[in-house]
Structure 1
Amino acid sequence: MAQESQGGKVSKVDIDKLSQEFTLPNHIHKLKLVERPPNENSLCNICFLSCKGNNFYACETCRFQVHISCAHRGKEDWKLKQHYHFLILQRTPATFHCNACGKEDNREPSYLCTECSFWIHHSCANLDPKCNHGDHDHPLYLEFSLPQEFENFTLTCDVCSGKLLPDDWVYQCGPCRFFVHVKCAGKRRTAADDNIEAFPKLNLALLPEDNETVQLVERFLKQNGILENLRPSQIDNFQHKLPGDLELSHPFHPEHLLYIRHPEYCCFFRQCSHCKLDTNGWWFECKQRECNFRLDMKCALLPKAIAHKSHRHPLSRISVTDENCSACAKTLSGSSYGCEACRFYLGNDCALSPHTITTQWDEHHLTLIFPPFTAHPDEFLCEICETYAHPKYWLYHCKDCDQSFHPHCIPQHGLSRNIKFGSTIQIAEHSLELVEKGEYMSRCGVCQDHLDKKNALLCTACNLHICCKCACDILENKAKKNTEVISHCNKTLGVP
């Protein structure tokens, strides 16, 4: 009879009745009964306590060794389908980082793998394979790592917004791309009664709009109370009938009043001080020249709150720092729209994205879509940059052609989004149309600047191209000699 010290307790072991060889399910070699360890510092590979002075089983092939009692306790070991090795039940609570839930506590037994560092709580080993969640309409299924198709994307938990690592256990709804940590499965993203019905019926602009340059501005004018002061005849055609002395006190520029301005020509651009984009539409401007401050109509009339089809709660205009846009992941700083309860934020450019747009890459209108993409379980590939789209961010999509596009890849959604193209001006005998970019290898007929990647004015009759700067100079009589050059142009003028 021998005594074996293990885990602080002494157990009696009848050596004569022990098998000389023993097999553990989590070790590929047979173990042999030995009387003393190879050195005084040998530790049991299951409980990690000293083997000194004890009989134990050891592997002759490798340096694996276990107490006799630990070896027999291995009958309680079991194997999870998500892990390659057998796990050893640790009855004594220990402090460790759980590979399933990520928590570190010592309140319950656990399962430990002696082949690698895998260690999980007893309760995590018995998680339900399926659960329901109050923030999602479909059942969630337990996965022992992020699905492989999402490994190249940075994903966050849809409850706590914490980052999801590739090896994290998650509950997920695959078609909706909805993921939560296992520790968050029992939590709500918002309070149970926090839904859209709980808010008062507000007269909010509902975005996205189809015609952002007309309907959107009109909605903002109404919501800001500006149209209420106009006569019916002015409201019918508000873009051309707004009073010329309309002034605005704006939080973006509280020092001075802003006055409404409009361009004389379609090629006359002004940069908005807020969104940094050019516009050829109406804008508000500070009369103090040293301020050099102006806001295009949309930025000037941004309401204090909006409703957006991508989120169930109203979004308030807030000032944020180092938050990420929920539509494109861009880091936000300054004025944005957000739902603080859900940690849902939209940059102004994404919030104002039009519902439908046209593009040269597809014959149909493209529709703005946002997750969950329940009707499209497959991956989205952007037709322009040819990279896979993030499953959590917005896209423009053609259902007929099954083509998808990153919003930032579409020129109309880029730097020229606030410019209205298609208007014409007359210079000499030429009727020039404002186009987004000149034809391939085109040059300005005046300054010879390349225009195939720039906004330009095009005479469809003779293919004359003129850059916007030269056109403005001519129209403002700053370069009269240029008018003579253009008036005598021929079919090849503007072609290199």
Structure 2
Amino acid sequence: MFYSLEGKALENFLGAMKLDFHKHLVYPTNISSECSVCSNSEQIEGAKASESGENGVTCKSNESQKGGKSGKGGESIESGENSETGQRRGSGKSAKASESLESIAGAESSKNGESGENGKSGKGGESTESIAGGESNDSSESIAGGESGKGGESRYICKPCNLYAHKDCVEINNPYHHKHPLKLLEFDIVLDFGKTCRLCGEKVERLFYHCFLCDITLCRLCPSIPLVIDDVPKKVHEHSLTQVMIKVSFTCDACGICSDGFPCVCLPCCFIIHRDCTKLPRVIHVNRHDHRVSHTYSLCIGDWGCGVCRKGIDRVYGAYSCSICRYAVHSKCATRTDVWDGVELEDIPEDENEDIDPYEVISEGVIRHFLHEHDLRLIIEKDGNVSYCYACTLPIYCDPCYACMECRFVLHEACAKLRKKLRHELQSHQLILCLNPRPGQAFKDGYFSCDACHRRCTGFCYKYKRIELDIRCAQVSKTFNHGSHPHPLFSISTAFKKCTGCGRSDKPVMSCIECVFDLCFYCATLPVEARHKYDCHPLSLCYGENAKGLYWCEICERELNPKEWFYTCNDYGSTLHVNCVLGDYLHVRPGHSFKYNDNEVEVVANDHPTRPSCSLHSREWRCVHPFVFKRKVNNTISSMCDYYFRFC
């Protein structure tokens, strides 16, 4: 006989209940699926009230197994004494199910066991329906097959949310992990965004545990982690460690940081450590140092400073140090994602024969650079014959340089000695020196944008994947001394800061650790000395003056703020804007060509008697910037102001 159940009656019949941690009604079930809390598909300790047998048969506890062994089709298997038919003894409908049916359909439950008409009962011991005891049946599966008993439902299910949870995961009463009960909560219910786990420090996800008495939050996985750590690596500690579930203030022996938390301790050794510090790597490479550094629990006698944050190191606590030179880093600073590349090097031998020389000496004064196919000869440019270095793109006046014996390729002597590989503060991985964009490529591929100074460049670059630095910014590393400030500058932060030189907010910047002074890479790499066709003397970079009166730029004939940086001639006293002297394409080499709209465009110096019209102002103005672009269209050559390409 079938009955129609709807609404509250159906929910009551299926055992629906409202729990604190979820917004929908949940139902007891014995369906085996991955628990949304502990991520375990098996029943956890204490929840194994039943085990699944063959053909979907569910085992019951000993007290409810006196009625016999039930098969899926409704037939019971004789397995004990005094087995009789199910029609004589009956299985008995549960009281709960009978009351629900009477309230909906007005029918009485059958005392002769309607659900057992086709079955036989015995004493054997496995049954999904309480035959002798008449226990209540809460499972939704018992409607069709009458197979499930109360003891077999060890999980909650919410189908709309695809949520499965062990009953024992909903609330944890384990003094070993915490002295108060830990209740399962959900973000959608408590709206408690921003909480972090007090054990692992990670931001909690959708489901988490909380103790309202202590105001302690744990992620859903930490309560299942053993508190006794038996597999501690020997490099960390020689004994097992035990995590103390009492919040205390302590200083970690591995990282030297004093914090409030739940430490791991070894009482015989008086050893205390953060749990996450047990996973610190032993030997690593940091981007501030050329040698490997290894973790140690104490440094030798002396004053130590961190090579990353530049603050002092307490030598009695753990840190990373170099075995070749006097260099040390805080444990937490060394393992930052912007400092360490994430590679453990303890069992990896170091390549002592790594080739980092950029060229091979062919003969005296003749070399073969690894980025050029021809031999280069050392020469000194004559005065008046200006060439542009293919590496840094800056002019070569009377400096020694290496010039190609077969083409126009030329390098400063210092640029020819640039290392193949180097480490830089702006990238945790090692950077490799690469060739500049080749001439004739499309406009977007004919240059690269430096990730430090944000200039467009066509010279050599140090590169790792999508990170590209021009060679001048790549040399600004470690301790940097600049003429605008008396103290050394360091790259210690990747946050936006206001540059003292140009006044713009930028990142990354070089900062002073003794006073408030920040310098962006654009200003840090400005040439200290420059030349311009308006003045035959060298121009010196001035870092601002506290002077009264009006200053005028000799190039654009506009007012100049003396408190800002500008170029000046020490012989004639002329003043010039920085941008008027250098332009927007300081690192675009004259002579470099690219394609734009299928037309060949070449960068040329704007030092000819006839200058192109300025695209910024009007056709009556002539472009005053040091570089212009020469375009060839159908054998017709025309020049364009560089402003035309600024926003391309």
TM-score w.r.t. length of structure 2: 0.33
TM-score by length of 1: 0.40
Q: Which has more radius of gyration?
A: 2
